[in-house]
């Protein structure tokens, strides 16, 4: 009985609760396919499965490392808030979020978490909610134009700590996010992308009195009242008060940064090759099941995450860098399927070993050159189209070009799956 025949009859397994269950696997059903024109050599399939686990851990480790670097930049910014340190922490946020998105494809593998993790709210899906909720309402967090005392930062009745922010996250609506990359983004850029470093000066309130009110706080007093009027009758003018609650704002963003690192560390540990829960699932699974699951995860990222969400909306709306979100997700796919293209300088002298990685080690010889060229072409076209998106500030023609190339990459994935006799879901 061939390896493929064994996998064809393997059912989708429900995983048990404990890390030390030796029979737990990752599995994707492979229906009967006859005749089978091409058999993937078992050694090549095993090597690819090992690559998947290692790439996942490397990717999560990079996400964790860049989040630590982001926190370091944040501390420098809070120590001396000024335009230069502000720009540096914003750039660090962009790097950290891109690194996280490059790992997102692995969250789409068909893996079940232990029931206890679901109860504790620390399974993969809920952890991603704590990391990457979007779109979000900035006014739920801090001041926005016209509402100087809105949000958690200005609600003096709400104590700021880890438990509070976890409870407030998605409290009555998914857009009411208090944690994650986009809460962090809003704090660094503000609702209009013009956050001032002065918002984070370590100072007490300048208003004579700042009192708690329902839904936030209100400044009162002659100089900084919630609404200050001057003049009489038609000549009266209205001014808004200065930004307040600087120290709470500083405390809040530090809590968000701490929680971000905590949740990323959780995922990194689970992908650790020697004893990580997710790494163990991959290692105990049949190699062709890992291949099928990875192709399915890639299809979900392309269809559900990119085409149906990210290309149509602005996921990083406060920093105006949504095209970089798309780029990072696509590069995460490239890390799996075309790793030799991801690090050309490092791989240049490695001879055939560079070519025989990712999809290259799996494809039949008769179709390998054509399919590899198609993968490379589509990744290059997407990068070029994203450069145009950035230059055109997200104009619809630029988005449409990215969309067309992503559809083209989906077609290359489907052609590769057909060459390998791996079934993919039928798109509606």
Residue 16 lies in a domain: no
Same domain, 328 and 402: yes
262 shares its domain with 316:
yes
pLDDT tens-place string over residues 121-164: 999 999 999 999 999 999 999 999 999 999 999 999 999 999 99
Residue 54 belongs to some domain of the structure: yes
Residue 96 lies in a domain: yes
How many domains in the chain? 2
228 shares its domain with 302: no
Considering the domain architecture, whether residues 48 and 189 belong to the same structural domain is answered as: yes
Q: Is 12 left (phi over 0), alpha (psi -120 to 50) or beta?
A: beta
Q: Identify the domain boundary among 187, 221, 239.
A: 239
Q: Can you tell me whether residue 146 is helix, strand or coil?
A: coil
CB 404 within 8 A of CB 395: no
Q: What is the per-residue pLDDT for 217?
A: 59
Does residue 10 belong to any structural domain of this protein?
no
Contact (Cβ atoms closer than 8 angstroms) between residue 108 and residue 296: yes
Determine the longest span between alpha carbons in the chain, in angstroms. 93
Q: Are 97 and 168 in a shared domain?
A: yes
Q: Are residues 105 and 225 in the same domain?
A: no
* CATH code for the domain of 400: 1.20.1420.20
Among 378, 363, 383, which residue's Cα sits nearest to residue 39?
363
Range of the domain at 181: 38-203+245-419
Q: How far is CA 373 from CA 69, 259, 367, 370, in A?
A: 36, 42, 10, 5
Alpha helices in 160-310 (DSSP H): 162-168, 181-189, 246-270, 277-283, 287-300
The answer to pTM > 0.95 is no
Q: 238-287, pLDDT tens digit by residue?
A: 445 689 999 999 999 999 999 999 999 999 999 999 999 999 999 999 99
DSSP bridge pairs for 230: 237
In angstroms, the CA 401 to CA 404 distance is 5
The answer to whether 28 touches 12, Cβ cutoff 8 Å, is: yes
Residue 302: CB atoms within 10 Å: 21
Q: Are residues 101 and 153 in the same domain?
A: yes
Q: Looking at the structure, do residues 322 and 406 belong to the same domain, yes or no?
A: yes
* Residue 237 φ then ψ, to 5°: -120, 155
- Can you tell me the distance from the alpha carbon of 182 to that of 193, in angstroms, rounded to the nearest whole number? 13
Mean pLDDT value across residues 279-306: 97
Q: Does the pLDDT of residue 10 top 90, yes or no?
A: no
Q: Is residue 79 part of a domain?
A: yes
């Amino acid at each position: 009985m061939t390896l493929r025949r064994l996998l064809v009859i393997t059912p989708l397994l429900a995983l048990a609760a404990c890390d030390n269950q030796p029979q737990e696997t990752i599995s994707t059903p492979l229906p009967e396919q006859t005749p089978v024109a091409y058999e993937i050599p078992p050694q090549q399939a095993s090597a690819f499965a090992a690559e998947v686990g290692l790439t996942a851990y490397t990717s999560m480790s990079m996400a964790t490392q860049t989040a630590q670097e982001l926190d370091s930049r944040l501390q420098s910014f809070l120590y001396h808030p000024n335009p230069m340190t502000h720009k540096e922490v914003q750039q660090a946020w962009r790097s950290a979020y891109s690194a996280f998105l490059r790992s997102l494809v692995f969250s789409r593998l068909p893996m079940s978490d232990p029931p206890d993790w679901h109860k504790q709210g620390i399974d993969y899906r809920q952890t991603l909610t704590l990391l990457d909720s979007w779109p979000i309402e900035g006014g739920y967090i801090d001041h926005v134009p016209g509402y100087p005392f809105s949000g958690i930062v200005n609600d003096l009745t709400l104590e700021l700590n880890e438990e509070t922010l976890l409870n407030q996250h998605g409290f009555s609506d998914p857009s009411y996010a208090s944690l994650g990359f986009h809460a962090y983004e809003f704090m660094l850029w503000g609702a209009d992308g013009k956050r001032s470093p002065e918002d984070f000066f370590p100072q007490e309130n300048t208003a004579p009195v700042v009192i708690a009110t329902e839904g936030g706080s209100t400044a009162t007093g002659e100089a900084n009242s919630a609404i200050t009027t001057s003049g009489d009758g038609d000549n009266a003018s209205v001014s808004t008060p200065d930004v307040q609650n600087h120290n709470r704002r500083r405390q809040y963003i530090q809590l968000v940064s701490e929680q971000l690192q905590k949740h990323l560390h959780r995922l990194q540990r689970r992908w650790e090759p020697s004893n990580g829960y997710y790494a163990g699932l991959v290692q105990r699974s049949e190699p062709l099941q890992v291949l099928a699951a990875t192709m399915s995860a890639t299809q979900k990222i392309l269809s559900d995450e990119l085409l149906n969400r990210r290309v149509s909306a602005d996921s990083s709306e406060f920093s105006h860098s949504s095209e970089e979100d798309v780029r990072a997700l696509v590069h995460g796919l490239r890390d799996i399927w075309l790793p030799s293209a991801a690090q050309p300088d490092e791989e240049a002298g490695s001879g055939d070993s560079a070519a025989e990685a990712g999809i290259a080690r799996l494809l039949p010889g008769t179709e390998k050159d054509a399919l590899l060229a198609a993968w490379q072409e589509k990744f290059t076209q997407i990068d070029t189209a994203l450069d145009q998106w950035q230059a055109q500030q997200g104009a619809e023609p630029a988005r449409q070009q990215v969309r067309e190339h992503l559809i083209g990459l989906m077609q290359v994935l489907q052609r590769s799956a057909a060459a390998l006799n791996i079934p993919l879901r039928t798109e509606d």
